[in-house]
Amino acid sequence: DGKRIITCSHNATAKIWNAENGSQLHSLNIGDIPIDAHFNNNSSLAITVPLDEAAIKLWDTRNGQLLKSLTERDKGRFVRLSPNDEFILATQDDNSAFLFNTSKGSKITLHELYGGISDAEFTINSKQLIVTTHSSKCQIYDTTTGEILYTISEPQDGATDIDMATDGSYFVLSGK
């Protein structure tokens, strides 16, 4: 919503700030150095991933309360939260990735992530996940089954970034 900012700190916290006046709203105790943090679409939820601790954490940003802790993973690198808040993507050091369904408590393993994920975006309706890998591929997954729907092999030097149009009608890939 553009009204909040989340930062990660080496003191094992993530902080939520008021973007309009710079005041600190909440300090979230991660338990280890947070290496990634993201808001949902309206900034009412935040998700954090620590460096060494196994728990991905989902937070209510209005009051700073921990809502859910997911511990079924090894050390990870980044997380993403779907626009409908139903899915969490979590990557791991071994180049694997999982989709957690926050309402059902289920986990889907994503396959064929050769070289690991460089970026990921959910579609606006949260039905697909677009992933770029370090092996020069862009793969589009079904979020309910984890199946690969499409594979795009461009740009040939490696797709590194994805940007989704605000209306969800298209996405742009960029490479090295």
As a residue count, the chain comes to 176
Q: Please tell me which residue, 148 or 106, carries the higher pLDDT value.
A: 148
Strands of the 4-8 sheet, one edge to the other: 4-8, 13-18, 24-29
Helix/strand/coil for 32: coil
DSSP letter assigned to residue 3: S
3-state helix, strand, coil in the chain (%, to 5): 0, 55, 45
Amino acid at 150: Y
Tokens found for residue 165: 């149009």
Tell whether the model's pLDDT for residue 24 goes beyond 60.
Answer: yes
> Residue 4 and residue 39: Cα distance in Å, rounded?
9
The DSSP-derived string for 63-74 is: TTEEEEEE----
Q: How far is CA 76 from CA 9, 55, 79, 93, in A?
A: 17, 10, 8, 5
pLDDT digits 0-9 by tens, 27-71: 998 887 777 888 888 888 998 887 766 678 889 999 999 998 876
- Whole-structure pTM value: 0.78
Residue 40 · residue 81 · CB < 8 Å: yes
